[in-house]
Amino acid sequence: MGMKELLSISVKTVVVFASLLLCMRVLGKRQLGELELSELVVSVLAADLAAVPLQAPELPLRFGLVPLAVLFLCEMLVSVLTMKSIAARRWLCGKPCFLIRDGVICQAEMRRCRFTVDELTEELRSKDVSDPATVRYAVLETDGTLNVVLYPEHRPVSAGQLGLVPEDEGYPVVLIEDGAVKKENLRPAGVDEAWLKAELRRRRCRLRQVYALIRFTSGKVYFALKDKR
């Protein structure tokens, strides 16, 4: 393979990579963590379609980009359709299923969803629930996640129920990360570089020694030095 072919493949790779990033950005952040059926199909096919012009250098780049654009256009159309039509959303995405209702496992729904008891108890443990009898509702959502609603007497007690008013720490803003100052965060945190330098002097350390410095809008500061290697 000559230098010209290597350069062509490199350019195609960069273009395909940028196109995939752009398409995923347009689809939105939800697709990164929760995939519906159509989104999963797009994720599976996108990599194969994008790789076509890379695996065959003699093919023009459009052989990968055009199918990729059509694929993401179809996903956008499906997303609009499911937003506008309840029937289409039910057919394409399904509907939530109650795996536990009033502390009783719904065996018919378990079989229909092909959900085993081991999988159910594993999901419950991930939500700090060990006894299914304490669960009022366990709902298997359309994206595959399990949401659990406990009986009121088994729910964690909140500060409001105890009549307490906990201190509000506010929003955390990262000011130093791995020895580098994030200058764009100084104003949102309500501080400036002079405050930051004074904080470092007070803690008797240098900037390059700091792993993380986080300031909450309430004024509280979290500080951590780098590990000694």
Residue-wise pLDDT tens digits, 40-89 = 667 667 767 767 766 776 777 677 777 777 777 777 787 788 778 777 77
pLDDT digits (tens, 9 = 90+) for 177-222: 999 999 999 998 899 999 999 999 999 999 999 999 999 988 899 9
| pLDDT score for 180 | 93
Per-residue pLDDT reduced to its tens digit, 124-146: 999 999 999 999 999 998 777 89
Q: How many CB atoms lie within 10 A of CB 6?
A: 11
- Is this model's pTM higher than 0.75 or not? no
* Residue 214, CA atoms < 13 Å, CB-side half-sphere: 11
Torsion angle in degrees (nearest 10) through CA of 169, 172, 173, 176: 100
pLDDT of residue 30: 47
Give the SS3 label for residue 98.
strand
Nearest to 123 by CA among 100, 107, 142, 146: 146
**What backbone phi and psi angles, to 5 degrees, belong to 177?**
-135, 115
pLDDT mean over 3-25: 67
